[in-house]
Structure 1
């Protein structure tokens, strides 16, 4: 009886929802993209983009212009559909020939929630989002669907730990001790 009436109230009070607390910038700070140079100039060869995909074990690069401003994205999917499947030469094509530019790029704002980012990716069937600063429209970073899933799993594991602690009577604030 206690659990059916009191536990939902306790859970609502002490377990904040992941979709309301984790922003795109938070996810980026824990992302594999946070520690590597994931930009490539649009005039570089496609072969160099493929080399970076492999070297860093990533699936997307932010494309920059001559002023190092992010202007697009180049993904493994771009390579497969515009180079490999058409038997074109990656050693002679430039990144600007295959990348996605401008209005077609789906972005995340720095304060977008994890849920908003997931919805954007699912709705457009993409695996990466560029993160843009709300104030000055500057590029902050990039996140992948894998980064979002890791964040969700981390939150779920935390909730499981808190519920186990509650069940065992540990701690007033349901934190593992």
Structure 2
């Protein structure tokens, strides 16, 4: 299985940038960034440190259902914290286990306190499927004697 570092390199090749928001910014600002960048979550970064993650799910459950205003409420009120992170040495399989066990859809990648990327469950599932397809192809070639 690939490591997080290898997966981030593949994402970087597609020019994917990590978009963030600060905890003091208003929820409406986070929603605008998520809509503009077509992402479902943003790492919340204060003073260079990841302090949480805010997602569309957080908005639906903690703003809409609670009757809060997205204009006057800071991200810190609804972000998921403390944040679970991984480093670049973790395997895709380990990340999937963390996300499944913790019911997460987004996993920040942090190395030496620096945010390097954000993995989605979709990123991990795509990679897992690609690895399985490759293994099947290799086994079929082996069986055929190629």
Could you state the TM-score of these two structures normalised by the residue count of structure 1? 0.72
- Determine the structure 1 residue equivalent to 2:52: 72
- Which SS does the other structure have where 1:132 is aligned? strand
Moved more, 158-167 or 36-45: 158-167
Structure 1 unmatched ranges of 5 or more: 1-17, 171-177
Q: Is the 8 A contact 1:28 1:34 kept in 2?
A: no
Report the Cα distance in structure 1 between the residues aligned to 2:108 and 2:29, rounded to whole angstroms: 20
Which shows bigger deviation, 152-161 or 120-129?
A: 152-161
| 2:45 corresponds to 1:45 | no
How many angstroms apart in 2 are the aligned matches of 1:84 and 1:114? 34
Between structure 1 and structure 2, the one with the greater Rg is 1
Q: 1:139 and 2:108 equivalent? A: no
Q: CA deviation at 1:75?
A: 1.4
1:155 to partner: Cα distance? 0.8
Count matched residues.
Answer: 145
The alignment's C-alpha RMSD in Å is 2.1
Deviates more, 1:114-123 or 1:44-53: 44-53
Query: How far apart are residue 167 of structure 1 and its match?
Result: 4.0
- The alpha carbon displacement at 1:127 in A equals 0.9
Structure 2 gap ranges (5+): none
Name the counterpart of 2:88. 110
Query: Which of 135, 140, 143 lines up with 1:164 in the alignment?
Result: 140
Q: CA deviation at 1:68?
A: 3.7
Aligned pair 1:36/2:36, yes or no? no
Q: Deviations over 1:9-31 (max 9, x none)?
A: xxxxxxxxx2xxx1122223334
Map of 2:43 onto structure 1: 62
Q: In 2, distance between residues paired with 1:36 and 1:87?
A: 32
